[in-house]
Amino acid sequence: MRENIKPATGHLGVLVVGVGGAVATTMITGVLAARKGLAKAIGSITQMATMRMQDGEEKPIKDIVPLADLKDIIFGGWDIFPDNAYEAAMYAEVLKEKDLNLVKDELQAIKPMTAAFDHNFAKRLSGTHIKNAATRWDMVEQLREDIRNFKAANHCDRIVVLWAASTEIYVPLCEEHKSLAALEKAMKENNTEVISPSMCYAYAAIAEGAPFIMGAPNLCVDTPAMWEFSQKMNVPIAGKDFKSGQTLMKTVLAPMFKTRMLGVSGWFSTNILGNRDGEVLDQPENFKTKEVSKLSVIDNIFEPEKFPDLYGDVYHKVRINYYPPRKDNKEAWDNIDIFGWMNYPMQIKVNFLCRDSILAAPIALDLVLFSDLAQRANMCGIQTWLSFFCKSPMHDFEHQPVHDLFTQWRMVKQTIREMVGEEAPSYLD
């Protein structure tokens, strides 16, 4: 074991932006139930996955590295609506009432702090439980005070901040994002065009020494200013956008086509989704943020510049449609036009009837626990090894992101091996 990995002692505070949302309440309920032995953390790498060690023994990951125990987690966070976690979960209708009632008292005790919110970044939402901040800098200062107060009131040794709120409108990278000094100047001058609420949450978390995880495709911590700040404060950052449904399938299927040297001429993807996230994404400006995230996947895997005969002219289109009757039960359709020997065409159809929050909840938990581990292992800045969990893996301008799910999984295992002083195996793992 690395001597510089601090033990996971005491309480870990997990502050969720959008704590009353479907993903957050689903994750929290599952954790509370699992630590009482009332449910299993299915889908969670930290709780269920194993790795083969140098001595040949297969061990659970949570027995290899010192992860925080679920019983030591204390949940809190911010939301634009005042409902406690039980009321919010009932409204989301992801989990059945009988399952929520298993931990009803604990859920009712989780009451959100007022959120940092700007209606212009999510026009389909009208928050009533929001902060009154004169400037973006004032917004940051209020969030920092929230983090400090929560940490003190709940006797937490460490804090992790997780964004599980809706997607913000598309904001392109600009000069105000390219250095810490420029970012802080824009916040103080209240430049609301380029400084989003999510950037305020990220800045506040990093300023308080808390790892920050971006679970949506917003431009936020994936900027030079935030990279500089996270390095300065020695804090890990991770994201972005939980890789839960359709994109997860793409990062499995696309490597298969490439490994077999099968060509792809088109990939059409569409979704119907009825929860609050679906409603927000019905706004074109918000959908563009998600679209950019989803479209980035297959080009990176296919490397069209290296294999122009196979992937030089792929027509890739992504659609998300708001359809209220489905609520959280998303349906994703993919039509993939492929070609093989002598250019003969074939098609693959994928119809994934998934539950958005059920798939995202364990990802959120794993990102929290691994980010806390990274902090205790003195790992700061972009955590590329956590790309496994993200649609749009964070990277700096000098490196390309890795999208292949199986390569990403090897990155997770290799990082864990390095943490405990083991070398990579000679076989492909």
User: What would the pLDDT profile of 77-129 be if each residue is shown by its tens digit?
Assistant: 999 999 999 999 999 999 999 999 999 999 999 999 999 999 999 988 888 99
pLDDT confidence band for 273 (50 / 70 / 90): confident
Burial 342-371 (b: 16+ CB within 10 A, else e): eeeeeeeeeeeebbbbbbbbbbbbbbbbbb
Residues ≥6 apart with Cβ < 8 Å to 98? none
Residue range(s) in the chain whose domain bears CATH number 3.30.360.10: 246-353
What is the C-alpha to C-alpha distance for residues 58 and 110, in angstroms, rounded to an integer? 38
Q: Specify whether the CB–CB gap between 163 and 237 falls below 8 A.
A: no
DSSP 12-34: EEEEEETTTSHHHHHHHHHHHHH
The Cβ of residue 141 has, within 10 Å, a number of other Cβ atoms equal to 16
pTM of the model: 0.93
The backbone torsions φ and ψ at residue 320, rounded to the nearest 5 degrees and listed phi first, read -130, 130
Q: How far is CA 363 from the centre of its chain?
A: 7
What is the SS3 assignment for 160? strand
Dihedral angle sign, alpha carbons of residues 217, 218, 224, 229: negative
What's the pLDDT band for 275 if we cut at 50, 70, 90?
confident
Q: What pLDDT score does 281 carry?
A: 77
Measured CA to CA in angstroms, residue 164 lies from 22, 210, 240 at distances of: 9, 16, 11
Q: Which part of the chain has CATH 3.40.50.720?
A: 11-242+357-419
Q: Which CATH fold would you assign to the domain 246-353? A: Dihydrodipicolinate Reductase; domain 2 (3.30.360)
Using pLDDT thresholds of 50, 70 and 90, give the confidence band for residue 277: confident
pLDDT in tens, 368-395: 999 999 999 999 999 999 999 999 898 8
Instruction: Provide the pLDDT confidence category of residue 1 given band limits of 50, 70 and 90.
Output: very low
Mean pLDDT is highest, among 200-214, 297-311, 387-401, for 200-214
**Minimum mean pLDDT among 89-93, 289-293, 300-304, 401-405: which range?**
289-293
CA distances from 398 to 218, 354, 401 (A): 21, 36, 10
pLDDT tens readout for residues 225-259: 999 999 999 999 998 999 988 899 999 999 999 99
State the average pLDDT for the chain: 94
Is a pLDDT exceeding 70 seen at residue 330?
A: yes
Q: How far apart are CA 149 and CA 172, in angstroms?
A: 34
Q: How far apart, in whole angstroms, are the C-alpha atoms of residue 270 and residue 291? A: 11
Pick the CATH number of 11-242+357-419 from 3.40.228.10, 3.40.1370.10, 3.40.50.720, 3.30.1330.10: 3.40.50.720
Residue 425 clears pLDDT 90, i.e. is over it? no
Residue 429 predicted with pLDDT over 70? no
In this predicted structure, what is the pLDDT of residue 215? 96
Could you report the per-residue pLDDT of 33-53, keeping only the tens digit for each? 999 999 999 999 999 999 998
Q: Over range 204-222, report the average pLDDT.
A: 96
For residues 55 and 250, give the distance between their C-alpha atoms in angstroms, rounded to a whole number: 34
E runs forming strands in 34-72: 50-52, 58-60
d(CA 287, CA 280): 8
Per-residue model confidence as pLDDT tens digits over 54-78: 888 899 999 999 999 999 999 999 9
Provide the pLDDT confidence category of residue 2 given band limits of 50, 70 and 90: low
Q: What is the pLDDT at residue 375?
A: 97
Among the listed residues 46, 44, 49, 64, the one whose alpha carbon sits nearest the alpha carbon of residue 1? 64
